[in-house]
Amino acid sequence: MADQHAAPVTASAPLSRTEAVPVVPALRWEDLPEGPVIVLLDQRRLPAAEVELVCTDVPALVEAIRTLAVRGAPLLGVAGAYGLALAAVRGFDVDEAAELLAHARPTAVNLAYGVRRALSAHHAALKDGAGAQEAAAATLAAARALHREDAEASERMAEHGLALLQELVPGGGFRVLTHCNTGALVSGGEGTALAVAGAAHRAGELRRLWVDETRPLLQGARLTAYEAARAGMPYTLLTDSAAGSLFSAGEVDAVLVGADRIAADGSVANKVGSYPLAVLARYHHVPFVVVAPTTTVDPRTPDGASIEVEQRSGLEVTEFPGSGASAPLAPLGTQAYNPAFDITPPELVTAIVTENGVVSPVTEEGLAELCARSRSGNGMMSI
Ligand SMILES: CSC[C@H]1O[C@H](OP(=O)(O)O)[C@H](O)[C@@H]1O
């Protein structure tokens, strides 16, 4: 008798490509004749259209961050740093710009880190007697350095993460479930958790990538599927509520997710829906692996209860993304609960993969030791 729990797996993904199609850069700095700009790939328009947003000032960038035109913790750090450089080069008040940028979204600690790092470079240049132009150049150099470091961190996380999967799931042929979007659209490189899946795919070891659609803004359906398709990965989309039946059918070998803030004790703030996956993974003895650069670890935040979880408009729940009131999903006036993130306690996290290596089990000491290996010390602590 067929296993009654067997999931009816349909191969809905395109055949694996031999050549991946690169994703349009999520963010770049451009020096135009009329002045510098920050060019963003507007992630709200994906996958239907690849539209670029040109930000000429900090308020425009803050709006892009608030509306998730640009999103994802590591990239928010890079965007924040470039935003400060834009303010410095265009002669805006950098301290005011830092306030606006650092508070554009509260949970992803990378944003505040990137802003602080660029602001520190600006202040240090002035302290050394630099003029406004030189200080602006130093600020831009700090943003470019962070951009480069994030790309390098992606590569190293992919290596460490693939090695961990090979250890956790002997024999390869990994069936990985991921939530939200953690690829090149959240990073200066190939991302965090999705970069690990990409490395597994290139090694011929990714049997299936299960992609949670990730309500309400559908980062999985719109963005991870977009990236997985361009990379030729064997992916299948599912509703968030279908994940449980995949675990029950024994179809998941590991869960790979990103993070927006990791507290000193190893508590992980990540896209809402991550915590239930961690509980399911524990119940079904499946590894739950968090992939994040050390700039996402915030030793100033002691534990999960100390992490501010962004509460977003209920309209994101009651209306279909991007269509506004033209496509209500609930009666007009319906109140909706819409936390952007949830908190997974360290005891439910099998391992945290950073660019400096892996901590498992997750302990405060192990995490601190990994962060201490970062060139600039652990992000928030070094500035
Ligand atoms: C590794 S950063 C990606 C991270 O960011 C997402 O949040 P948002 O789409 O709201 O920026 C989600 O938490 C992902 O895990």
Q: State the pLDDT confidence band at 24, using cuts at 50, 70 and 90.
A: confident
**Among the atoms of ligand 1, which is closest to the Cα of residue 193?**
1
Reported as a single tens digit per residue, the pLDDT across 63-88 is: 999 999 999 999 999 999 999 999 99
Topology of domain 152-375 in CATH is Rossmann fold (3.40.50)
Q: Does residue 107 register a pLDDT over 70?
A: yes
72 marked ligand binding residue: yes
pLDDT of res. 18? 47
From 260, 250, 252, select the one nearest 219 (Cα to Cα).
260
pLDDT of res. 327? 78
- Reply yes or no on domain 27-150 having CATH 1.20.120.420: yes
Q: Does residue 225 register a pLDDT over 50?
A: yes
Among candidate residues 212, 240, 253, 260, the one labeled active-site is 260
> Which of 83-97, 301-315, 325-339 has the lowest average pLDDT?
325-339
13 marked ligand binding residue: no
pLDDT of res. 16? 45
Q: Ligand 1 mean position to 27 CA, how many Å?
A: 16
204 marked ligand binding residue: no
* Mean per-residue pLDDT of the chain: 92
- How far is Cα 80 from Cα 94, in angstroms, rounded to an integer? 12
pLDDT of res. 373? 87
pLDDT of res. 321? 75
Calculate Rg over the CA atoms of the chain. Answer: 20
pLDDT of res. 47? 95
Q: Does residue 14 register a pLDDT over 60?
A: no
- How far is Cα 255 from Cα 275, in angstroms, rounded to an integer? 11
Token pair 């652990």 in the structure block, residue: 378
The residue whose CA is least distant from atom 15 of ligand 1 is 258
Residue extents of the structural domains in the chain? 27-150, 152-375
31 is catalytic: no
Assess contact for 255 and 290: CB atoms under 8 A: no
- Pocket perturbation via mutation, ligand 1, pick of 68, 109, 196, 260 by most ligand atoms within 8 A of CB: 260
In percent, how much of the chain has pLDDT > 70? 91
Q: Does residue 30 register a pLDDT over 50?
A: yes
Task: Give the pLDDT mean for 9-15.
Answer: 46
Q: Between residues 373 and 299, which one has the greater pLDDT? A: 299
Reported as a single tens digit per residue, the pLDDT across 248-285 is: 999 999 999 999 999 999 999 999 999 999 999 999 99
Task: Give the pLDDT mean for 352-370.
Answer: 97
Task: Give the pLDDT mean for 218-237.
Answer: 97
